[in-house]
A and B are shown apart, each in its own frame.
Chain A
Amino acid sequence: MSIIEIRGLHKRFNGVEAVSGLDLDVEEGEIYGFLGPNGAGKTTTIRIMIGLIDPDQGTVEISGRNVREHGSSVRREIGYLPEKVSFYGNLSVEENMEFLCEMKRCPKDMIDGLLHEFELEEHRRKKSKHLSKGMTQRLGIAQTLIGDPDILILDEPTAGLDPNIRRWVKKKINSLKDQGKTIFLSSHVLSEVQELCERVGVLNEGKMLAEDMVDSLGEKFALKDRLEFKVEPIGEAFDMLEKLDYVERPRLFKGNLVLYCKGERKVDVIRELIDGGFDIHDFHVKEPDLEEVFVRLTDGGRG
């Protein structure tokens, strides 16, 4: 049984269909990536899941319970990171955490551990309005773990963070998965979802465009590896490779030779170059990523 089950969800805001007939399932223990461009309806869907707004149609069930009917008992099992998380500015980090602990009716002795884990110990007496964006976001994720919930719903957990903190957050999310938590996270950063998630749903204009395992999504769309060579003489190499039928879109880019081909043919390309007596100074392979799936799906197939 899926732990999160969304059926036929619709939500309209003054004539705009923000969510339009969405179905979605998340299995226990997986990291599900909810992917979509700005305005796709991710936040709206998540708010409906939490019970912050009501859908016009459709149902959300979490752990087999309808969130509209069992709101507060469902929320007991959820840790939620809002898109723009905000605390009580006049209260300190510690006071905010204590208050939230009281709301979940769980012991406060876990606060120390969480503040330590999220490297906020030295800021515990700071008023939360004086925290930087990165600290606020870390506190935001820390608070989702209050009461040790089984399900984490994170709305763009890495948005607006610098690369270091971003990496740190991603590591944290991975370790939470290892603890057996079910994680539902939204993002419009494709590489991130690819790195973190096992399964993704691609949302656009309130509709699910595709939903699959990260890997098979690539296969399904017959995505190609991107190869980049520093090779000499480059012109002749280009002429030769261009003639191969499994090589696609070859071009010269910043003094490099760039081309696309299926993953299993890339060895053949290299062999051709070596057999042809070319000097390969360097090369670089980029596996197909969701960027490509995304562009294809949301661009009406033009990509």
Chain B
Amino acid sequence: MKYLESLKLFYSSDMWKRIFSVAKKEIRYNFRNRWVIFMTMLFLGLSILVSYYGTAMEGVEGWMGLQETVVYMATYIEYMVPILAVILGYSTIVRECEDGSMELLLSYPVERGEVLAGKFLGLWIVLSISVVVGLGAGGFVISSMVEDVVLAEYYLFILSAVILGGVYISISMMLSVIFTNSTSAMSASIFVLFLFTFIWLFSMYAIAEITFGWEMVEAGRPPQWYFLIQLLNPVMLWYTLLALNIVPLRDWALEFGGKEPEIHPYDTWVMIALLIIWIAVPLLISERLFDKKQID
């Protein structure tokens, strides 16, 4: 009880109140952004569509189970969640510096770190709501259409998407602090989107070819360091997290090779911890840079 009281006191400090105010403002602001609404509808539509038509490619039409839907959805969530995160994050600082509202805000008794923390919190909540509503409603429709629903795995899937979104919000916010015009911040964010997907895959392929040969990867026996490098990539961390926990995805990964999860000596918690580091580090860098940033 005493613990709860002091916790309440802590979160009711001026600092937290300002952080929550900034977060609230971001939430308000971004839910008036039609791209955010559009992406939410897209999550919803796609999860239903994938469930119904996903198997059509394999010649079977009709509802697919929730678990199998996850397998197909993972391939587009990998792009969609980071894209939504980037839409939310890339301009959040730089645009306000450009249009002058940051100058006004920072003339108030608020610390720059509080502004960043509030923005991150608010944007993450917006993304979470969008993902949870979009995928959650999709999941709800599907689970009412099919039998033997394993909801736990679907929840994990949604949670993992929210964490992946957090990573990209953190990265794109950092770029928003670094760059002094929105166009550069956007370009850099798009580059990061490609970096951890296409560019990464091609580079890893090239590295394998040059050093030990791609056959080793296909045979599931690449050297350990090859896997360790993969852990530098948040998308790979996220994918591994899913593969470790969602049965059909593991089967699927095994079938296609190359991304075989069982070879990873790491467990779920390590993946989550690494993803959280991916959220924290760009935020800390942002804090340092934003503190020095000249607002003019």
Which residues from chain A sit less than 8 Å from chain B, CB to CB?
Answer: 44, 47, 50-54, 71-73, 75-76, 78, 80, 82, 84-91, 95, 99-100, 102-105, 143
Bound: A102/B29 CA distance, A:
16
**Residues of chain A lying within 8 A (CB to CB) of residue B103:** 47, 52, 82, 86
Within the complex, the shortest CB–CB distance from A261 to chain B, in Å, comes to: 46
Bound: A78/B99 CA distance, A:
22
Which residues from chain B sit less than 8 Å from chain A, CB to CB?
Answer: 14, 17-18, 21, 25, 28-29, 32-33, 99-101, 103-111, 292, 294-296
**Residues of chain B lying within 8 A (CB to CB) of residue A100:** 104, 108
Bound: A233/B80 CA distance, A:
87
Q: Are A99 and B25 in contact (CB under 8 A)?
A: yes
Closest chain B residue, CB of each to CB of A50: B107
**Residues of chain B lying within 8 A (CB to CB) of residue A73:** 109
Within the complex, the shortest CB–CB distance from B180 to chain A, in Å, comes to: 13
With A82-B103, A85-B100: A105-B14 Cβ-Cβ less than 8 Å: yes
Bound: A103/B101 CA distance, A:
13
Q: Are B296 and A47 in contact (CB under 8 A)?
A: yes
Q: Are B295 and A53 in contact (CB under 8 A)?
A: yes
Closest chain A residue, CB of each to CB of B294: A53
With A88-B101, A105-B17: A54-B29 Cβ-Cβ less than 8 Å: no
**B-side interface mostly:** helix
Q: Are A82 and B21 in contact (CB under 8 A)?
A: no
Within the complex, the shortest CB–CB distance from B26 to chain A, in Å, comes to: 10
With A82-B100, A84-B100, A86-B99: A52-B32 Cβ-Cβ less than 8 Å: no
Q: Are B296 and A52 in contact (CB under 8 A)?
A: yes
Interface centre among A50, A53, A72 (most CB of B within 10 A): A72
**Residues of chain B lying within 8 A (CB to CB) of residue A91:** 25, 28-29
**Residues of chain A lying within 8 A (CB to CB) of residue B105:** 103
Bound: A50/B294 CA distance, A:
12
24 example contacts (A-B, Cβ-Cβ < 8 A) are as follows A44-B296, A47-B296, A50-B107, A53-B295, A71-B111, A72-B111, A73-B109, A75-B109, A76-B109, A78-B107, A82-B104, A86-B103, A86-B104, A88-B25, A88-B101, A90-B33, A91-B29, A99-B21, A100-B104, A102-B21, A103-B105, A103-B109, A104-B109, A105-B18
**Residues of chain A lying within 8 A (CB to CB) of residue B109:** 72-73, 75-76, 103-105
